[in-house]
Each structure stands twice: as structure tokens, then as C-alpha cells.
Amino acid sequence: MAKKSNGMRSLVISIALVALAFIGYLSVINNGLTRDIAELRDEVAALTAQMNEQGETPLAEAQGSLNESTDQQSTRDVVLARGTLIAGVNAALPGFGTLDTATGEFTGFDVDYARAIAAALGLEIEFIPLTAGERFTALQTRQIDVLVRNTTWTLTRDSQDVAADFGPTTFYDGQGFIVRVADGIGSLLDMDGATVCVTSGTTTEGNLADVFRQNGLELNTQVFSETEASFGAYEAGACDCYTSDKSQLASLRGSASNPADHVILPDTISKEPLGPLTRHGDNEWSDIVRWVVYATFFAEEHGITQANVRTFASEDPEVRRFLGLEAGLGAKLGLAEDWAIEVIAAVGNYGEIYDRHLGPNGLGIPRPGSLNALWIDGGLIYAPAWR
Amino acid sequence: MTEQQGSSQSIPFWRDVRILRIVAQVLFLAAIGFSIWWLVSNLRTNLAISGLNLEFRFLGETAGFPISEGIAYEPTRSNGYAFWVGIVNTLRIAGIGVVLATLIGTVVGISRLSSNWLVRRLAGLYVETIRNIPLLVQLFFWYFAVILTGLPLVAASLRLPGSIYLSRRGLYMPWPVATDSFPLWSWFLVGGLALGIAAYVIRRLQLRRADRPGLPILWGLGALITFACIGWLVVPGNPLHLDIPVLERFNFVGGLSLSASFLALLIALSTYTGAFIAEIVRAGIQAVSKGQTEAANALGLRKMRVLRLVILPQAMRVIIPPLGSQYLNLIKNSSLAILIGYYDLMNVGTTIFNQTGRAVEMILLIMASYLTMSLLTSGLTNLYNRRMKLVER
């Protein structure tokens, strides 16, 4: 009796081992399947590019069906189907993105740009507040459709590492330092051996290390995950200095317990061009986001404001194209013809958005003479040709 | 009789319990294997669709961000080395935290059983308060309310005897630093260690042969220290030099610096885990039957001797397993360092994945690090447990 049960048991066990081995094999060959998907996609993209050159098939159609077949719809289609735009914003940066906990309303420079995109599509908007650490993951995993959260345009973020595409820069910022007046620090070069508080998840740490190394200065840092904790530690004296983008320093100084005790040093140690982000491989959607931003630049250039956009009359053909009165440019982006009117009616032109949040009534960052002025005034705010 | 003979041959296989048991196990294994395969392939497919493939090349790239605490590090080192600095920092706080928590826990646990009413009540108050407030709140309390508000600014540091300075930035104390003659002296240290181990082993064998108990640690230490001192006198100059912290324009330079974040995290972790360990110790002591205490008293042993020689060795068997899990809790709770600016592995790991965009790979690395540390700790605990457990006939 014992021998028989042993034989049966070993047979069953060997079947189990074979089954497990088969499962292991399946998981290995699946690797090959996902590789094939990527290869196929590349091949199809190359072929459609070829066909498009020969003028045989509209690229958009091929792209659309390709996206559908690989289960990756254009964000524009997803958003229109959903009926709401989901935008990632900052909830804790006065001027750029804040959440009024009493009313539940989001306000800010970046928040207005998210509203502009929603207005162009004619949709409702939903805001998701994100920390610096989680913003890219939220975009990559499609939790949000667009990220408008004072994000600096860098090569790493534009590349396959983060797989994001940047829209036009809406705010040209730079990294600076805020110190206590009482410490008597005049410039960066006085800070040999100082302790600097930073918030993690941004380009700030890297820039700080670079500039201190370049000038041969000793650096100590304290890194926190929350801006409130970081600035709080600086105010309490745990650090000699706090570093961040100058716009953030302006807003933090304004909300400090005694603003007159702090001074922002004149040194600007980096370029921080801030703008909206979309995912890689989503050209149609990126175009929409890009041209919504350009619409606000164009409107200010031609004197179109929130108040007069619906009744604006002009003989200038470019302005007429902008207002959708001729040439049908909206259809090329997949939007309604009056999309630009809706954008300006919702949030105003660039100057109005800037003045509302960053002007004298807001953070008080002076605009004339800075990089954020219109190109005709010597700045970098420039919209391409509207045709 | 005939029925018994026939029964072993006539059970059909679908009713044979032995076979059914094996089939059930196989099906269960297959189900687990299938779900693991499905999860992994799902992750792979989604990563491929998003264009993010798992690859660890970024670990070799330059880090570019500063880490101001821990072993020697420059922003020009690689991401992998930066992560290693974070791991060493976590080990530092976990190691010291474990020792402190055990000490606090043992003292408070025994105090809770004291015959002195006040001591008992104070210990009870400590345990009940600390256990019931979330660790995060306690951590913020120690860092923001006590250290950042209660201690003076760097310029007005509290000076303790022996050139120890305490301020909002941290604790600065003199620390020996190796000089040129240190390498030569280190040979004496190695030799002293060998001599110490030899002395320990020899003395222990002697005691064993005489059937006497004892761990001759003093013999080993004595040999080591004597040889090291001889080495110090022999070597030219002083192999170690006491580095005293000196206040420069912004910070103290020199000596050993324990940052405010490190101190706050250490105090919060050890008091919190100590409260739990106190309860475990109390449970262990109460698990030893009262007859043992009575017998020990009858022998005329004093209170402390009773505790040390009779109660605690028996209580250890009950204490060790839950104690191990409290150690694991401490190691994992150290990840809260990111909120108060201590450069532990979680903090450095999240900085790396923010800078490089490689979230999935870094999370896997962080999980692997904590898993390794935890498995080692529980392995050691189990080893100790196996040696201490009751061996019955």
C-alpha cells in the first residue's frame, strides 16, 4: 500500500513541476511579445511616414488607428470622451497654484493656464494637487492629462527618462537665495560653509551643488520633502539660507512671519523656464496645449483682452484667423473654430493672467524689462505666425 | 477482515484523501504562479506601452545633488554611490536606535513592575502616552517644537563641559581623527584583537574544564586594550588627534556633528519603539511563574539578583520574538526621515528618482534594501531565539 501511494504522489508532483516550468516559460516569452509590440509600432510609424511623403495616406488617420490598435488613444480623444480635463497643479505655491481650503477653489498663474486649455476644448476642469515628487509619475501613468505645475524645462525631463514634452515657456524664472538681513550676507560668495535648506524633487539641489562647486565654496544642505517644512526650518534658524526659484522665494517671503527680516539676494544661478507638460507620443494633444499658450501671447500682442474678445473687430487677416472668422485653423488642431475666443474669454491674455497673480496685487514680480515681457518690449513672450 | 483487505485497493482516486491533498497543493501553487506571472507581465506590458522600460543604467550616472550627512560623498559621484550613502545613514540610525530603544524599553518595562508606586505610575504614563500618539506627530514635535524652538541658535550654542556644543543645527563634539601614524598603530589594533580573542578562548576553555560558568569578556578586552596601549607608546607621535569643533562664520567645523534631524529622529524612534518594547518586557517577566520568584527569594537572593539571574533569562524566551518585530518596525519607521531632512535611504532614493525620472526602478531598489535589512534582523533574532528556547526532553 505504501509503495502505491508513493508512486502516485511522485507522479502528481512531477506534473506540478512541469506546470510551474510552463508558467515560467510563459512569463519569459511574454517579454518577447512586448518587444514585438514596440518593434511593430516603430515599423508602422516608419511606413506611415513613407506613405505620407508620397502623399498617399493622411498621417493623422494612420496615427489614430495605430494608437487605437495598440491601446493608446490620443489624450484629446480620451479627454473629449470623458468630458472633463484633469490637470495636475500645485496647491501650495501662492501666485502659481493655491487651494483655498475654505471654498475649495484653485487659483494661480498655472491654474489659469489649465483653465485656458479646458476652455479651448469646451470642457469642465478637475484639478489634482501634486507634490514635486509625484508630478511626473502622475503624468506618465495617465492620472492627469496635462501638468501645469511650475515645472522647469530640462533636457532630462524632455528625454525618454521622464518621457514628457514641454509646451512653450509661460514664465522665465531663475533660482535665487533668500537670507536673513541680520546675517549680513551680500551675495553668493559670502556663503562659504553655510547651511542651505532645499525642498526635494526639483532641479534646485543640483543647481545649488553645481554653483557652490564652481565657486569653490563649502556647502551643507538640509533637504525636506515639503516646502512648508523646509522654509520653516530656515525661518527657525536651522539653515542660513533657503534656495528655490525666485518666484517661489517672493511668495514665501510674503507669507513669512516678518517679511522685512528676509532679503532675496540679487544672484540668479540658473535658468528655470516654467511651462506645461504633456506625454511623449501625443502630438495632437501637445499641439493643442502649445497653441493655447500661444493664443494668450498673440492676444496680448494685438490688444485682445478678456473684456473685448467677444466684440473685437479687426481688418488684420491674422487677427481674423485668430478669432476663427476665416481660414478654419481650429479644425487643423481638432478644435472648434472659436477656440481662441473661448480661451481669452475664460482667462484673458498673457498680460492679464500675469497681472492677476504675479503683478502688483499678487506676488509683485516686476514684468517690464524682464524676460517675461512681450518680444516687442524686449522680452521672450513671442507667438509664432498665425496661419 | 476481508473488508479491511479490500479497502486499500478500492478507493477511487478522486476520493482518496492523500491524492486530493496533493492535488489541492498543486492547484494552489499553480494559482499563485499564475497570478505572479500575470502581475509581472501586466507591469511589463504597461511599461512598454508607456515607453518606460526597466533599466538600471541611471545608477552609473552622475548624481549632481549634495548629501550633507554620512560617509564621504561628492555630487560628482554616481547615483548608485549616493544611494549607498543613504543606506549607510539608515543603518546608522537603525543601529543606534535599536540599542537605545532596547535600553529604554527594558528600564521602563521593569519599572512598570516596581513596588514603588510613583515609579510604576510614571512608567505607565510614559508607555500609555507615547504608544498612543502617532510617530509622525511625535517626530514633528521633537524636531519643530523641541529642537528648532527650544534650543538656541548656532551663534549662541549651549556649551557643555568638554567642548560639546548643542544648538538648533545639532550636536557638535570632539572626535578622534586619524593622523599619519594611524596606519602603523592599526596593526597593533589588529594584533590586539587577535590576542583578545585568544585570551577569551583560552580562559573559556579553562573555565569549561573546571566546569565553571562564565564569559571571560574582561579577559579579552583587557588583552586588546593592553596591546593597543603598548602600541600607542611605541608608535611615534599620536595616532589619534582630538578634533575640537570650532565655530566659523556659519557652522561648527571639525569634530563629530550629529545634525538636528538625526537627533530628532533618533529620540522619536527610540522613545516610540521603547514604549512598545517596555510592554513586551513586562509581558515576558510576568510570564515567568511566580513560583520562580518565590523560590529565588527563599534562597535569599536580593531583588536585582533575582531579576538578573532567575527571571530575565526565562523571560527572554517570551520577549525575543516580538522584540524582533519591534526592531523591524524601527528600521522601517526610519523612512520618516524624509520629512525632517535626514539623508536616509528613502530620502536619497526619492531624490534620485525625481532627478532621473526612474520611479519604478528606484522603488524596487528601496524595497529591496528594506527587505534585506529586515530579513537580516529577523534572521539574527531567530538565531538567538533558537539558542535560547526551552530544550525539552
CATH of the domain at B342: 1.10.3720.10
Mean pLDDT of A178-190: 90
Mean pLDDT of B205-210: 89
Give the CA distances from residue A332 to residues A140, A269, A286, in Å, rounded to whole numbers and listed in that order.
26, 41, 13
Inside any domain, residue B27: yes
Mean pLDDT of B82-91: 95
> Greater confidence, B54 or B225?
B225
Residue B333 near residue B262, CB atoms below 8 Å: no
Q: Which of B161, B130, B356 is nearest to A201 (CA)?
A: B356
- pLDDT in the model for residue B237: 81
Verify that B41 and B86 share a domain, yes or no.
no
Asked if pLDDT for residue B227 goes beyond 60, the answer is: yes
Please provide the average confidence, as pLDDT, over all residues in chain A. 86
Verify that B25 and B120 share a domain, yes or no.
no
Can you spell out the DSSP letters for A155-182?
A: HHHHSTTTTEEE---SEEE-EEEEEEGG
Inside any domain, residue B333: yes
Verify that B362 and B310 share a domain, yes or no.
yes
Closest chain B residue to A152, measured at CA = B355
Residue B87 near residue B257, CB atoms below 8 Å: no
- pLDDT in the model for residue A1: 47
Residue A333 near residue A288, CB atoms below 8 Å: yes
A19 to chain B, any CB pair closer than 8 A? The answer is: yes
A48-77 residues touching B, CB cutoff 8 A = 70-72
Residue of A10, A42, A200 to mutate, interface with B, max B Cβ within 10 Å = A200
- pLDDT in the model for residue B72: 87
Residue A306 near residue A344, CB atoms below 8 Å: yes
Verify that B22 and B132 share a domain, yes or no.
no
Confidence grade of residue B83 (pLDDT, cut at 50, 70, 90): very high
A156 contacts in chain B (CB < 8 Å): 355-357
> Greater confidence, B12 or A117?
A117
Per-residue cell: B1: 477482515
Verify that B307 and B362 share a domain, yes or no.
yes
- pLDDT in the model for residue A35: 58
Residue of A27, A135, A214 to mutate, interface with B, max B Cβ within 10 Å = A27
**Structure letter (DSSP) for residue A34:** H
Mean pLDDT of A234-238: 89
Mean pLDDT of A171-186: 91
- pLDDT in the model for residue A34: 53
Mean pLDDT of A28-44: 65
Q: Dump pLDDT digits (tens) for A71-95.
A: 467 889 999 999 999 999 999 888 8
- pLDDT in the model for residue B43: 83
Confidence grade of residue A69 (pLDDT, cut at 50, 70, 90): very low
Confidence grade of residue A28 (pLDDT, cut at 50, 70, 90): low
Residue B347 near residue B90, CB atoms below 8 Å: no
Q: Which of B147, B152, B342 is nearest to B247 (CA)?
A: B152
The dihedral built from the CA positions of residue A158, A163, A166 and A171, taken in this order, carries a sign that is negative
- pLDDT in the model for residue B8: 56
Give the CA distances from residue B304 to residues A331, B110, B134, B297, B310, in Å, rounded to whole numbers and listed in that order.
89, 11, 34, 11, 10
Mean pLDDT of B259-286: 95
B236-265 residues touching A, CB cutoff 8 A = 248-251, 253, 259-261
A236 contacts in chain B (CB < 8 Å): 144, 148-149, 168
Asked if pLDDT for residue A114 goes beyond 90, the answer is: yes
The total number of structural domains in chain B stands at 2
B158-160 β-sheet, strand order: B158-160, B164-167, B170-173, B256-259
Per-residue cell: B280: 513586551
A13 to chain B, any CB pair closer than 8 A? The answer is: yes
Verify that B263 and B384 share a domain, yes or no.
yes
Could you report the predicted ipTM of this complex, rounded to two decimals?
0.74
Inside any domain, residue B244: no
Inside any domain, residue B336: yes
Inside any domain, residue B166: no
Inside any domain, residue B288: yes
Can you spell out the DSSP letters for B72-87?
A: S--TTSBHHHHHHHHH
Q: Is B358 left (phi over 0), alpha (psi -120 to 50) or beta?
A: beta
Q: Which of A2-6, A64-68, B150-154 has the highest mean pLDDT?
A: B150-154
Asked if pLDDT for residue A284 goes beyond 80, the answer is: yes
Verify that B123 and B17 share a domain, yes or no.
no
Mean pLDDT of A366-378: 89
Confidence grade of residue A380 (pLDDT, cut at 50, 70, 90): very high
Please provide residue A98's backbone torsions phi and psi, each rounded to the nearest 5 degrees: -135, 155
B124-153 residues touching A, CB cutoff 8 A = 144, 148-149, 153
Confidence grade of residue A23 (pLDDT, cut at 50, 70, 90): confident
Q: How far apart are CA A373 and CA A171, in angstroms?
A: 10
Confidence grade of residue B187 (pLDDT, cut at 50, 70, 90): confident
Inside any domain, residue B111: yes
Residues 6 or more apart whose CB falls under 8 angstroms from that of A110 comprise: A89, A90, A96, A97, A148, A149, A150, A170, A274, A276
- pLDDT in the model for residue B360: 83
Q: Which of A337, A342, A310 is nearest to A324 (CA)?
A: A337
A284-303 residues touching B, CB cutoff 8 A = none
CB contact under 8 A, B48 and A15: no
Verify that B374 and B266 share a domain, yes or no.
yes
Residues 6 or more apart whose CB falls under 8 angstroms from that of A180 comprise: A240, A261, A262, A263
Mean pLDDT of A111-122: 95
Q: How far apart are CA A220 and CA A244, in angstroms?
A: 16
Domain span holding position B344: 79-139+258-388
Nearest Cα of chain A lies from the Cα of B38 at a distance, in angstroms, of 8
Task: Give me the amino acid identity at A312.
Answer: F
Verify that B337 and B287 share a domain, yes or no.
yes
Verify that B274 and B376 share a domain, yes or no.
yes
Inside any domain, residue B310: yes
Verify that B18 and B107 share a domain, yes or no.
no
> Greater confidence, A95 or B264?
B264
Lowest mean pLDDT among A62-76, A347-361, B13-27, B216-230: A62-76
Mean pLDDT of A29-45: 65
Task: Give me the amino acid identity at B390.
Answer: L
Verify that B91 and B131 share a domain, yes or no.
yes
Residues 6 or more apart whose CB falls under 8 angstroms from that of A42 comprise: none
- pLDDT in the model for residue B51: 66
Beta strands in chain A (DSSP E): 84-89, 92-93, 97-100, 105-107, 124-129, 146-152, 164-166, 171-173, 175-180, 194-199, 219-224, 241-245, 262-264, 272-279
Task: Give me the amino acid identity at A295.
Answer: A
Q: Which of A144, B129, B34 is nearest to B121 (CA)?
A: B129
The answer, as to whether pTM is greater than 0.80, is: no
A379 to chain B, any CB pair closer than 8 A? The answer is: no
Mean pLDDT of A245-259: 86
